[in-house]
Amino acid sequence: MYLIYLLYFFLERWKNNNKFCSKCGAKNKFNNLKNYIKCTNKSCIKRIFPRLDPTVIILIKNNNRILLARNKNWKQNLYSCIAGFCEPNESLEQTVIREAYEEVGLKLKNINYLFSQFWPFANNLMVGFEAMSSSVKLKINKSEIEDAIWVTRKELLSLKNKKKIILPKKYAIAHSLIAHWQKS
């Protein structure tokens, strides 16, 4: 049910942001069956399809630990995986390397794709990876990250039980990445 709501939210916002044709200025009409918008001007008939921005999210591992980070704009005690948008000239793997280095100063290796998730709130296609860091020394970019910590499975459970850390909700890909690690 939640996924249906997400799709509805995404499509409604997309339709509201594309009421008029960007080519000729005429009104657009949404095609309910095929999820695209079509210009109503018979001499234009431009079609617009929903746009998704590729974004990577990375479960960074070091031996039996993972890195969790806290964005300075999030609610208190919420920690998640490192994430970021792909630049126009990058592959997904290059984005993984750049984001980890920019946000926490880590160089990664053994980058592996795990799974992906549509995330409508920013029109993202979240692409989940796991990667290894040979170093645990962090150089936190304070303009983006407020805090970052390495945790073992046992430490993570203890922090959650003491309510010193909040993890992303079950419907978020970050939750799935962390759960994947906990089960491995």
Query: Per-residue pLDDT averaged across 155-184, rounded?
Result: 95
Lowest mean pLDDT, pick from 24-28, 47-51, 152-156, 171-175: 47-51
Amino acid, res. 162: K
108 touches 99 (CB < 8 A) = no
Confidence of residue 87 (pLDDT cuts 50, 70, 90): very high
Query: Per-residue pLDDT averaged across 141-165, rounded?
Result: 96
pTM exceeds cut of 0.85: yes
Q: Read off the pLDDT of residues 101-122 as tens digits, 9 standing for 90 and up.
A: 999 999 999 999 999 998 887 7
Q: What is the pLDDT of residue 1?
A: 64
**Distance from C-alpha of 34 to C-alpha of 108, rounded to nearest angstrom:** 40
Q: Read off the pLDDT of residues 1-14 as tens digits, 9 standing for 90 and up.
A: 677 887 888 888 88
83 touches 126 (CB < 8 A) = yes
Confidence of residue 32 (pLDDT cuts 50, 70, 90): confident
CATH numbers and ranges of domains, the chain:
2-48 (no CATH), 53-183 (3.90.79.10)
What's the mean per-residue pLDDT of the chain? 94
Q: Read off the pLDDT of residues 65-80 as tens digits, 9 standing for 90 and up.
A: 999 999 999 999 999 9
Nearest to 113 by CA among 67, 54, 157, 65: 54
**Distance from C-alpha of 9 to C-alpha of 122, rounded to nearest angstrom:** 11
**Distance from C-alpha of 81 to C-alpha of 87, rounded to nearest angstrom:** 19
**Distance from C-alpha of 67 to C-alpha of 55, rounded to nearest angstrom:** 18
**Distance from C-alpha of 70 to C-alpha of 120, rounded to nearest angstrom:** 21
